[in-house]
Amino acid sequence: MNTLLTGFIILSIVIAFIAFGFALWLYFWVKRQPTSNEKIISIAELIRQGANTFLRKEYTILAKFAGAAALLIFIFLPKPLWIGDFWANVLTNLQMVIAYISGTVFSAVAGKIGIQVATMANSRTAEAAQKGIRLSFLNGFRGGSVMGMAVVGTSLLGIALLFLIFDQNSTLLLGFSFGASSLALFAKAGGGIFTKTADISADLVGKVELGIPEDDPRNPAVIADNVGDNVGDVAGMGADLFDSHVASLAAALVMGVALDKLLGTNNVAMIFCYAALGLLASILGIGFAKMGKNDNPTNALNTSTYLTTAIFAALTAAATIIFKFEWRMYFAAILGLGVGVIIGIATDYFTDDRKKPVQTVAEASESGPAITIISGVSYGFLSVLPAMIGIAISALGAYMLCAPLGTNASDQVVYGMFGISVAAVGMLSIVGMIISNDAYGPIVDNARGLAEMGNLGEEVVEITDKLDSAGNTVKAVTKGFAISAAGLTVISLLGAFLSEVNAAALERGIPGITNFDILNPKVFFGLLIGAAVPAVFSAMLMLGVTRNAERMVAEIHRQFNDIPGLKEGLPGVEPEYDKCITIATTGALKELIPAGLFAILMTIAVGMIGGVYAIGGYLTGNIVSGLILALFMSNSGGLWDNGKKYVEAGHHGGKGSNAHKAAVVGDTVGDPFKDTAGPSINTQITVVSLVASLLAVIFLTWSLF
Amino acid sequence: MNTLLTGFIILSIVIAFIAFGFALWLYFWVKRQPTSNEKIISIAELIRQGANTFLRKEYTILAKFAGAAALLIFIFLPKPLWIGDFWANVLTNLQMVIAYISGTVFSAVAGKIGIQVATMANSRTAEAAQKGIRLSFLNGFRGGSVMGMAVVGTSLLGIALLFLIFDQNSTLLLGFSFGASSLALFAKAGGGIFTKTADISADLVGKVELGIPEDDPRNPAVIADNVGDNVGDVAGMGADLFDSHVASLAAALVMGVALDKLLGTNNVAMIFCYAALGLLASILGIGFAKMGKNDNPTNALNTSTYLTTAIFAALTAAATIIFKFEWRMYFAAILGLGVGVIIGIATDYFTDDRKKPVQTVAEASESGPAITIISGVSYGFLSVLPAMIGIAISALGAYMLCAPLGTNASDQVVYGMFGISVAAVGMLSIVGMIISNDAYGPIVDNARGLAEMGNLGEEVVEITDKLDSAGNTVKAVTKGFAISAAGLTVISLLGAFLSEVNAAALERGIPGITNFDILNPKVFFGLLIGAAVPAVFSAMLMLGVTRNAERMVAEIHRQFNDIPGLKEGLPGVEPEYDKCITIATTGALKELIPAGLFAILMTIAVGMIGGVYAIGGYLTGNIVSGLILALFMSNSGGLWDNGKKYVEAGHHGGKGSNAHKAAVVGDTVGDPFKDTAGPSINTQITVVSLVASLLAVIFLTWSLF
């Protein structure tokens, strides 16, 4: 390993620790903030316990799943134990097991930290609102930033350590990445089912049937609902972006190692340098974040994102000059980042209540719920266009920028694919900032509920409402960003898959592959089936939500019937909150498993039937249809949510009007779209891509056709 | 041209004329059936006039569009006039113009005939119901069969004549096919917007606001609604399947001509033979169709479909023996047909009210409209899987069957792609029968309305209801069939595109292309953008429906306010039906044009930027995401429709219950899904594929990258 590379790996580790230190400082800052309202303290404690119950169950089931996966990895990956030297295989497969387990554990730890802080910051944000919006904002944002720092710090640390300890073995990184994906599948899809089960059930019985307000403490599902915000949006989203960040680095490093070995270049060092500087830029961006005098929280969040972007661009430019990295690579990274930000802004157009789509849907609600749904679905479909064009341009642009670095045709292909992975690394460089913005959302959402339940008064609730609304706007932007980043990452994972196949083919003296030709019927076969998988996967999750919500609605009905005085809100009468939390937890994890297994088993089936060519098509179909569906569902969901808020703000008849009733239907439909199925597709795509890469050897040697 | 080929072309022409003769016999049979109820006669007359108004306006606008397209074709296609010998180019381009115009005219004539008969059969079906279900069924079915015979007869006749007159010039067939596609775009998408504008507006004001029954003559939109069934489901669907049938033959003939020239084989003769026998099988199947003693119309329709399939299989097997065609080709055709039928049956599972999906959604409606929508969307997503797997298997299977006919690697690819096109021809061979079944639907739907408006009594309405319900079930099956057939056809059009590109490259002495490699960034660029197009296209159509429905709702309100005695139903007071028809017509054609232009201009933009490679990816992305969205929207729409009917049959509280209200919301959302956007995507895919093939030369020589 050369000095430059060693230096940057160590730099990565150092910056990861700086991020941990900063997270610790933020943590204690939040912890120092006062809480005094007993009602709020006790409810916040219930939320914290509920979230921990979910995490404990989730991690227990995950441990079993990961144990089984680790056993299979040990037997088969990267090489079946019985082929060749048995003891050598034991050793290499054991390394893969370690990488895989580390991936799950690192991500789990980051998720646990995030939940810990978020469930502490919510009550402090609520109480701080009594002293004004600026302090309240800082509580929410700094609470979220702990998650941001923890996720990106552990991700970078894990990759750097593995790379250092196992001497640049890039295949192991795919194992680490697969571990992170396994966890993300549970956290994002499981958390997504949990949060929407609780949300829908609470609304159906509370708001629709009984007409009691949102966050009313009489509602047995109200704590589960608040827990859901944390497990879905904090832990789930964190695991999802951990997964994307790791996958983008893994894909770039797999190709970078191959390039460096072949041509003696410094690409791996550059990747570590850029990743480390991205984290540093996020630390600075978070450090400078605060609300200005104009008191607009959305601007504060956006300003710090743009600041982070600018810092990253400047730092990496300096590094490129000093260490003589290729400028073409630099521009590929900046292209990726720039397109990511533009996609975020374009996505915002479709969910911003000052723009036409939300207003049109709100107006359409006057004609009843059916028109709300039709117009929302339509705008959701329209919203895929800017993101797809953006991803297409950044992939083509990055390829075109970097391909000329190769001196012959085959090197140019490798450089071009590597360029795409650099663009993905660039897009994900500011992920620390993105996660901080995103985790801010559920904290202030919780704070709003706590302010209401703790009777802090209308003015305070209004402040938290304002913070919450900013959270929703920013969430739409970051979600568009996250989906696009995942898209670009999995495109570069296609390149990693090709690398793995050809390395294995070379080793076995059989012909490798040079292309995935669409006219090859195996490729087309895979393409068609791969495209169906995200649709089926998201259907299974959504049906899981409705089934689980049925169970919870029954439980809520039971409590209102069986507990005397609950409906009337007699003092001292409390619902059994924990029963609802248990239903949400057990159901979520039960409903998620068939969906996850379906995606994985389809991949294996297609690979065993059509071999590596079919898998090339399968991954492509999966990416393309996954992106379309994820963008559609996330954006239409966000649009309906804001459409409802727009009506509630007094337009088209305001609260209680027919338009409002229709808008509520839209919002409820959008819930599992935007918080369960849509974002889980990200994870599904990554999981499938990694399964394919890891099993490349098996598909190469054992397929039917 | 050899004798065998000439013989089969003449056979095709003869069988086309037999079909016309049979259609004429059916026409007069229907015409002979008595009508006596004056109310019914006058309303049927209004419907007929309304449908003709729409057709006239549609054909007028189409004529302008086709005129502009013909001019562009004359200047640019197949060769820009100024390149090479000007007068020779004038001659060849003029041929292309003739082919294109013929495609639009042939399809328009078939559509006009279909509308003529359907608007005559509806009243006769209604009155025949007074004499029993069997006669009523025959009226509906034979009326629909006229359309089936007219469509397939003109399609086969047009292809055969062009091929004969212009001496096997297969590129001209693409022009003919493009003409058919242009018309289908107007007829299907325009008709789809018309029908759903009227349907939704009539329901929103009539059923939801005023609580008057469906098909109440007081409702000013009621005639427009019935007209919509005819222009959307008869003319639109006929044009759509005309388009698919022509495209499948064109793709197969383009490749077949290339093969025959190269290897002296008889593939073109075989294609004509199979197509002619398919039409003959449909004639026999229709001739034998009648209701058995058990009085179940669904069985009668299905039995004649299976009978047609069996006759086709037997006739083509005999032809294969006698004329020594390749058995591998025969099995490819049968594979395509078999998979088509299986996909139809699998699709039926998701829309049949005796199966789990419809019943689950109906039950979910008890929890309100949001859950109806979420579960319907979920099952819609699930329903794409069997069709996608079916298409994947038939494409891979047909390729694998036929590739071994080639003696070297490159011939094997050509044979393999040709095999896929033979599978598509096989799948579409029984399309005459499919159209007959499909056109039966709107006739009996109309009949139901007429029976109600003509006060024929409860028992008669019940009979027409039973026929209508069979129409809905069969429609779901044929829709799955139609989408899959279009999918397989456009896959084979990819092969035709490659043929065109390479022929042009050869002529110009520049290198052709051998593959569309997914790892080629231009291909991937096209893939991502192509995948977004069907989503945007369908969004534009659906937004067109909602905008147009707003206009019509306003008009209905105006009439109820301004016409004294209308609301109360005073005798002699009639609404101004024609105003609603004009709104639906003008709006539909206005809203459709941007959507169509968007799809065409995106194709040209991608081709001009990324050249033929980008187009290869673009078409693939378009097909894959188009199939997913078309299947999802068609099936969830059908599911909601039947879910509502299931509740109305007395389940979960029956009519007027909360579950019913929720189910009505689902049905209304499903309307533009299943009758506007979903099936129009078929046409969009074909149009885009043909534009790409026709402009292949331009993309090859003039692209940016």
Per-residue model confidence as pLDDT tens digits over A555-607: 999 999 899 888 888 888 888 988 998 999 889 988 999 999 999 999 999 99
pLDDT at residue B21 is higher than 80: yes
Nearest CA-CA distance, residue B391 and chain A, Å: 8
Give the mean pLDDT of chain A.
90
| Domain parsing of chain A, residue ranges | 3-290+308-702
Nearest residue, CB atoms, A539 vs list B381, B417, B672: B381
Q: Could you tell me the two tokens for A45?
A: 């404690």
Average pLDDT rounded to a whole number, residues A189-210: 87
Cβ count within 10 A of residue B458: 10
Percent pLDDT > 90 in chain A is 51
Substitution target from A388, A633, A667 for chain B, most B beta carbons within 10 A: A388
A193 touches chain B (CB under 8 A): no
Nearest CA-CA distance, residue B537 and chain A, Å: 8
B435 touches chain A (CB under 8 A): no
Among the ranges given (A347-361, B286-300, B635-649), the one the predictor scored with the smallest mean pLDDT? B286-300
Average pLDDT rounded to a whole number, residues A336-353: 87
Nearest CA-CA distance, residue A683 and chain B, Å: 18
Q: How high is the pLDDT of residue B578?
A: 87
How would residue A458 be classed by pLDDT, with cut points 50, 70 and 90? confident
Nearest CA-CA distance, residue B381 and chain A, Å: 5
Cis peptide before A521 (omega within 30 of 0): no
Q: How high is the pLDDT of residue B209?
A: 80
pLDDT tens per residue, range B651-686: 999 988 999 999 999 999 999 999 899 889 988 998
> B185, B365, B188, B333: which is closest to B248 by C-alpha?
B333
> B512, B488, B498: which is closest to B617 by C-alpha?
B498
Substitution target from A371, A601, A609 for chain B, most B beta carbons within 10 A: A371
Average pLDDT rounded to a whole number, residues B329-358: 90
- What letter would DSSP give residue B705? -
Nearest CA-CA distance, residue B339 and chain A, Å: 15
Minimal-distance CA residue of chain A relative to B373: A669
- Amino acid (one-letter) located at B539: A
Contact list in B for residue A516 (CB cut-off 8 A) is 517-519
pLDDT at residue B143 is higher than 90: yes
Q: How high is the pLDDT of residue A335?
A: 95
pLDDT at residue A125 is higher than 80: yes
pLDDT at residue B626 is higher than 70: yes
Dihedral sign of CA atoms B12, B15, B21, B26 in order: negative
Q: What is the pTM of this model?
A: 0.93
Q: How high is the pLDDT of residue B272?
A: 96
Contact list in A for residue B382 (CB cut-off 8 A) is 535-536, 539-540
pLDDT tens per residue, range A483-537: 888 888 888 888 778 877 888 888 888 887 878 898 889 999 999 999 999 999 9
- The Cα B171–Cα B169 span in angstroms is 6
Nearest residue, CB atoms, B204 vs list A367, A516, A536: A367
Q: How high is the pLDDT of residue A234?
A: 86
Average pLDDT rounded to a whole number, residues B470-494: 82
Nearest residue, CB atoms, A379 vs list B378, B515, B539: B539
pLDDT at residue B1 is higher than 70: no
Interface of B with A in 208-247 (CB under 8 A): 208
Does residue A473 contact residue A298 with C-beta atoms inside 8 Å?
Answer: yes
Average pLDDT rounded to a whole number, residues B625-636: 94
- The Cα A230–Cα B660 span in angstroms is 36
pLDDT tens per residue, range A153-188: 999 999 999 999 988 888 889 899 999 998 998 888
3-class DSSP state of A84: coil
Contact list in A for residue B668 (CB cut-off 8 A) is 368, 370-371, 374
Residue keyed to tokens 């610790």: A24
pLDDT tens per residue, range B215-245: 788 888 988 988 888 888 888 888 989 999 9
Interface of B with A in 660-689 (CB under 8 A): 664-665, 668-669, 672
Q: How many CA atoms lie within 13 A of B391 on its CB side?
A: 31
Tell if the CB–CB gap between B529 and A669 is shorter than 8 Å. Answer: no
Contact list in A for residue B208 (CB cut-off 8 A) is 368
B420 touches chain A (CB under 8 A): yes
Q: How high is the pLDDT of residue B444?
A: 92
- The Cα A561–Cα B238 span in angstroms is 57
pLDDT tens per residue, range B284-338: 999 888 787 766 888 888 888 899 999 999 999 999 999 999 999 999 999 999 9
pLDDT tens per residue, range B252-273: 998 898 888 888 889 999 999 9
Substitution target from B197, B628, B680, B703 for chain A, most A beta carbons within 10 A: B628
Output A42 or B317, whichever has higher pLDDT: B317
Give the mean pLDDT of chain B.
90
Minimal-distance CA residue of chain B relative to A392: B525
Q: Is the ipTM of this complex over 0.90?
A: yes
pLDDT tens per residue, range A619-661: 999 999 999 999 999 999 989 998 998 998 899 999 889 999 9
- The Cα A658–Cα A660 span in angstroms is 5
Does residue B404 contact residue B199 with C-beta atoms inside 8 Å?
Answer: no
Q: Could you tell me the two tokens for B545?
A: 């429906």
Which residues fall within 8 angstroms of residue B6, CB to CB, at 6 or more apart? none
Interface of A with B in 587-616 (CB under 8 A): 610, 616
Residue keyed to tokens 């109360």: B568
Chains A–B, number of C-beta pairs less than 8 Å apart: 251
In terms of C-beta distances under 8 Å and separation of at least 24 residues, what long-range contacts does A288-297 make, across chains too? A289/A141, A289/A145, A290/A134, A290/A137, A290/A138, A291/A133, A291/A134, A291/A137, A291/A138, A295/A133, A295/A134, A296/A470, A297/A133, A297/A137, A297/A466, A297/A467, A297/A470
Nearest CA-CA distance, residue B628 and chain A, Å: 7
Average pLDDT rounded to a whole number, residues A311-316: 96
Tell if the CB–CB gap between A705 and B522 is shorter than 8 Å. Answer: no
pLDDT at residue A1 is higher than 70: no
Residue keyed to tokens 């991690």: A59
Average pLDDT rounded to a whole number, residues B66-87: 87
Q: How high is the pLDDT of residue A151?
A: 94
- The Cα A82–Cα B225 span in angstroms is 70
Classify A168 in phi/psi space as left (phi over 0), alpha (psi -120 to 50) or beta. left
Average pLDDT rounded to a whole number, residues A671-683: 90
Q: Which residues make beta-bridge pairs with A109? A: none
Interface of B with A in 486-545 (CB under 8 A): 491, 494-495, 498, 515-529, 531-532, 535-536, 538-540, 542-543, 545
Q: How high is the pLDDT of residue A474?
A: 81
Nearest residue, CB atoms, A204 vs list B367, B519, B525: B367
pLDDT at residue A108 is higher than 80: yes
Interface of A with B in 327-386 (CB under 8 A): 364, 367-371, 373-375, 377-382, 384-385
Nearest CA-CA distance, residue A391 and chain B, Å: 8
How would residue A217 be classed by pLDDT, with cut points 50, 70 and 90? confident
Q: What is the largest CA-CA distance in chain B?
A: 80
Nearest 5 degrees, angle CA A91-CA A95-CA A98? 135
Q: What is the dihedral of CA B692, B483, B636, B226, to 10 degrees?
A: 100
Among the ranges given (A207-216, A563-572, B158-167, B349-358), the one the predictor scored with the smallest mean pLDDT? A207-216
Substitution target from B373, B540, B541, B634 for chain A, most A beta carbons within 10 A: B373
Percent pLDDT > 90 in chain B is 51
Tell if the CB–CB gap between A610 and B538 is shorter than 8 Å. Answer: no
How would residue A291 be classed by pLDDT, with cut points 50, 70 and 90? confident
Minimal-distance CA residue of chain A relative to B385: A532
